[in-house]
Amino acid sequence: MKHVRYVNSTKINPSKSKAICFTRARVKGPLNYSLMGTLIPEVRCKYLRSDLSWADQVNYTVKKAWKALHLIMRKLKKSNSNTNSLAYMSLVRPILEYGAACWDPYRERQINALDRVQKKAAKFAHHTTSPHWETMASRRKLSRICALFKAYSVESEWKSIGDRLQRLHNLSSVDHERKIRSSGQKTDIGKYFFVNQTIQHWNQLQAEVLGTLR
């Protein structure tokens, strides 16, 4: 774990770090990860089920976002639309999007649960459920593509994922040269996992679009 000692020129404090492992196999012993000679304690993920489903994470996020939105609606009853919109984008939407590149849901019920929060905020701020805001799904999709771009560029914090990406060598005349090989999956969890789900969108991008990513 030496390559993660510094992230964005910021020194990592091992005493404040936690180690977590995502696997479908049964873990027999504790995780023995160390950083700078300090053993990193193990932590269990509270919102990830044993079948690697993020349903509990989505439910927790929706509940937390509703709580923040209801607080704004109580405090800003007499505020104008611009203030209400800014409050939603500053205090509620970051909750809905925190880490969403990883747990972006694919089930319609979970997607609708996240969308209902924004629709309620739009009705409160602009008295309509269809404001000129990007949909939550499109924002999560863009977040996943940007994250995959960082992994493709082998940035330090994404190196473990970037090292597993395989480029396609048999390209057609309309393909961009950054296409990534996708692996076949038999389960929905594997098919809609962050990397596998995003590779499909990545390969469909035009070369001009990839040039704008940072």
Could you tell me which residue, 22 or 209, shows the higher pLDDT? 209
**C-alpha dist (Å) from residue 76 to 86, 93, 173, 212:** 11, 17, 55, 38
The answer to whether residue 22 sits within a structural domain is yes
Lowest mean pLDDT among 10-14, 34-38, 87-91: 10-14
Domain that holds residue 111: 55-133
Identify the band that residue 214 occupies on the pLDDT scale cut at 50, 70 and 90.
Answer: low
Average pLDDT, the chain: 81
- As a whole number, mean pLDDT of residues 31-48 equals 68
pLDDT value at position 93? 96
pTM given for the model = 0.72
Domain closes at, from 103, 133, 163: 133
Q: How far apart are CA 12 and CA 172, in angstroms?
A: 44
Domain closes at, from 80, 99, 133: 133
pLDDT value at position 70? 97
Could you tell me which residue, 64 or 211, shows the higher pLDDT? 64
Strand partners, 134: none
The answer to whether residue 138 sits within a structural domain is no
Whether 126 and 189 share a structural domain: no
On the question of pLDDT at 186 being above 60, the answer is yes
Whether 155 and 194 share a structural domain: yes
Tokens standing for 156?
A: 């330090």
pLDDT value at position 200? 86
Whether 129 and 98 share a structural domain: yes
- Percentage of the chain beyond pLDDT 70 is 79
The answer to whether residue 45 sits within a structural domain is no
The total number of structural domains in the chain stands at: 3
pLDDT digits (tens, 9 = 90+) for 49-101: 766 778 889 999 999 999 999 999 999 988 999 999 999 999 999 999 998 98
Whether the Cβ atoms of residue 12 and residue 40 lie closer than 8 Å to each other: no
